[in-house]
Amino acid sequence: MRGLWNARAYAYSLWESVVDGVVDINTHRSRSLLQALGIVLGVASVVATFGMIEGGKRQMTQVYDLTGGIRKMRVENKELTEAKQSATEKASKGLVYDDALALKRDATLLEVVEPTMQREALVRAPGFERTLEISGATWGYEPMYNFHPAEGRFLTDEDLATSAKVVVLGSKRRAQIFGARPALGRSVSIDGSSYTVVGVMETKEFYWNSANDNDLEWMNEFVFIPITSMLNRMQGDRSDQKIAFMNVRVRDIDKMDAAMDEVGRILRRSHGTEDFEIFNRAAQMKRMEENGRIYDVTFLVCGTISLLVGGIVIMNILLASFNERVREVGTRKALGATGLNIMAQFLVESVVVTLFGGVLGVALGSGFTRAISSLIQQPVVLTPQNAALGMGFAVVVGVFFGFYPAVKAARLNPIQALRYE
């Protein structure tokens, strides 16, 4: 029973120390605002910095999501000068449609393989005549790029098997060729042959900032026909025709490196040399994050320095406050206050000031993010996690820099304090 009573008395004594600390802050408002100023600027800098970092990451992730995600790898023909080519490389045909068939047949870590062939051809329709780039594709282009028809359908396995004379138009091409007229079921002439429009793709849009043009406008300019139609009807013998590039999608993001090795091994087996390049989207995103980290760290260090300066100001003002209140502290200790009570009073003052500064800093940081977003015309994201992180920095600074004055006050000899002039 006595232990419980002592615990309650001890808790009440600590609570009195907390109240004394808050009262002292209210009594010296100008001093408290000066203490909080450095914290406000530091937290605002940290919050705005993390907002810029988060905004950049979200934009990059959004671009990848709009074009098929980060499980994609792109395989391209390697560009080599004539002087640097080996005899095997000179004999190789480069990437061909049969390579895509080999990957579909032999690769165990891939779920979609999409070869793309490109050729310019004259496109004619009533009131329209223009040379456009034609893309030979398979059904895999739709899931590979997360790119779906807004009208009709995309290419199918049956279209590939029969080298069907069908065409799917991007939204911009559909508007250029047919204007306000319906497109589905109409015929267009491609390279002198009639192709039936079976689909119109959705409009893809992404803007890095409001001053830029649509960064995905190239997707709206596609004219798709089955790759087998391009090989067999437009370019003759399939076995001798190079493809422009090939995209593959990995089943498991954790096996990207293994899938990259598997693709390279299968292609080297048929080519006899490595006359191709493989670009790993996940690795590219990681490299971009690493390259941008130097700027992130620089901004973060600037914010942290502001916090440290604010913490030093808090410590100096607390030390000055302690020197003013030496007799008060000595009197309290003489009347029975423990060192922990005195320490709590000074720490409470430091932490409350930094919390107050942290709240103002988060609000100011939110304003910074909006101003920066308007200035650079890019989204800057303020998340609850970033705000909590800024507040966490403020509390840590308050405890760290308030600890020395609090310990100094707690260790004060009451007899010396009462003699202090």
pLDDT at 162: 94
Residue 176 has pLDDT above 70, yes or no: yes
Same domain, 256 and 353: no
* One-letter amino acid for residue 13 of the chain: S
pLDDT at 155: 96
What whole-number distance in Å separates Cα of residue 237 and Cα of residue 139?
22
Same domain, 240 and 379: no
What whole-number distance in Å separates Cα of residue 102 and Cα of residue 269?
10
* One-letter amino acid for residue 294 of the chain: I
> Which of the residue ranges 64-68, 88-92, 198-202 would you say has the lowest mean pLDDT?
88-92
Note whether 391 and 359 are within 8 A (CB): yes
Closest to 289 measured CA to CA, from 46, 53, 51, 50:
53
* Inside any domain, residue 192: yes
| Structure-block tokens of residue 195 | 């192709």
Last residue of a domain, one of 220, 251, 274: 274
* Inside any domain, residue 206: yes
* Inside any domain, residue 5: no
* Inside any domain, residue 74: no
pLDDT confidence band for 237 (50 / 70 / 90): low
Same domain, 114 and 263: yes
What whole-number distance in Å separates Cα of residue 42 and Cα of residue 390?
9
Which tens digit of pLDDT belongs to each residue from 118-162?
989 999 999 899 999 999 999 999 999 999 999 999 999 999 999
Note whether 103 and 266 are within 8 A (CB): yes
Q: What percent of the chain has pLDDT over 70?
A: 80
Same domain, 313 and 239: no
Residue 270 has pLDDT above 80, yes or no: yes
The 3-state DSSP class for residue 411 equals coil
CA dihedral (88, 90, 95, 96) positive or negative? negative
> Which of the residue ranges 8-12, 96-100, 156-160, 387-391 would you say has the lowest mean pLDDT?
8-12
CA 92 from chain centre, in angstroms, equals 40
The 3-state DSSP class for residue 285 equals helix
CA 281 from chain centre, in angstroms, equals 13
Same domain, 403 and 375: yes
DSSP annotation string for 31-93: HHHHHHHHHHHHHHHHHHHHHHHHHHHHHHHHHHHHTT-TTEEEEEE----GGG--HHHHH--
Residue 346 has pLDDT above 80, yes or no: no
Non-local (6+) Cβ contacts of 238 within 8 A are: 97, 98, 228, 231, 232
pTM, whole model, 2 decimals? 0.67
DSSP annotation string for 204-244: P---SSTTSPPTTGGGGG-EEEEHHHIIIIISS-GGG-B-S
Last residue of a domain, one of 222, 239, 274: 274
Span 232-251, mean pLDDT? Answer: 78
What whole-number distance in Å separates Cα of residue 413 and Cα of residue 222?
84
pLDDT confidence band for 5 (50 / 70 / 90): very low
| Structure-block tokens of residue 257 | 């490196």
Residue labelled with tokens 């293994």:
258
Note whether 402 and 346 are within 8 A (CB): yes
Span 155-176, mean pLDDT? Answer: 95
pLDDT at 88: 54
* Inside any domain, residue 227: yes
Same domain, 265 and 145: yes
Q: What percent of the chain has pLDDT over 90?
A: 30
Last residue of a domain, one of 221, 248, 274: 274
Same domain, 130 and 203: yes
Number of helices (H), then strands (E), in the chain: 14, 10
Residue 82 has pLDDT above 60, yes or no: no
Between helices 281-324 and 326-334, what is the axis angle to 10°? 80
> How many other C-beta atoms are found inside a 10 Å radius of the C-beta of residue 194?
11
Same domain, 91 and 218: yes
pLDDT confidence band for 20 (50 / 70 / 90): low
Same domain, 171 and 106: yes
pLDDT confidence band for 87 (50 / 70 / 90): low
* Inside any domain, residue 2: no
CA angle 134, 196, 124 (to 5 degrees): 55
Span 162-171, mean pLDDT? Answer: 95
As for how many domains the chain has, the answer is 2
Note whether 247 and 72 are within 8 A (CB): yes
* Inside any domain, residue 212: yes
pLDDT at 75: 92
pLDDT confidence band for 198 (50 / 70 / 90): very high
pLDDT at 327: 75
Note whether 274 and 72 are within 8 A (CB): no
* Inside any domain, residue 7: no
CA dihedral (74, 230, 135, 138) positive or negative? negative
Q: What is the mean pLDDT of the chain?
A: 80
What whole-number distance in Å separates Cα of residue 19 and Cα of residue 24?
9
Residue labelled with tokens 């430091």:
350
Q: Which residue has the higher pLDDT, 87 or 391?
A: 391
> How many other C-beta atoms are found inside a 10 Å radius of the C-beta of residue 282?
19
Rg (CA), the chain: 34
| Structure-block tokens of residue 46 | 């940290």
| Structure-block tokens of residue 19 | 């109240």
The residue segments making up the domain with residue 151 are: 79-274
Same domain, 270 and 291: no
Same domain, 30 and 150: no
Q: Which residue has the higher pLDDT, 14 or 327?
A: 327
Span 298-311, mean pLDDT? Answer: 74
| b/e per residue 76-112 (b: at least 16 CB within 10 A) | bbeeeeeeeeeeebeebeebbbebbebbbeebebbeb
Residue 83 has pLDDT above 50, yes or no: no
pLDDT confidence band for 8 (50 / 70 / 90): low
Same domain, 121 and 189: yes
pLDDT at 235: 59
Note whether 123 and 189 are within 8 A (CB): yes
Closest to 68 measured CA to CA, from 132, 99, 111:
111
> Which of the residue ranges 201-205, 265-269, 317-321 would you say has the lowest mean pLDDT?
317-321
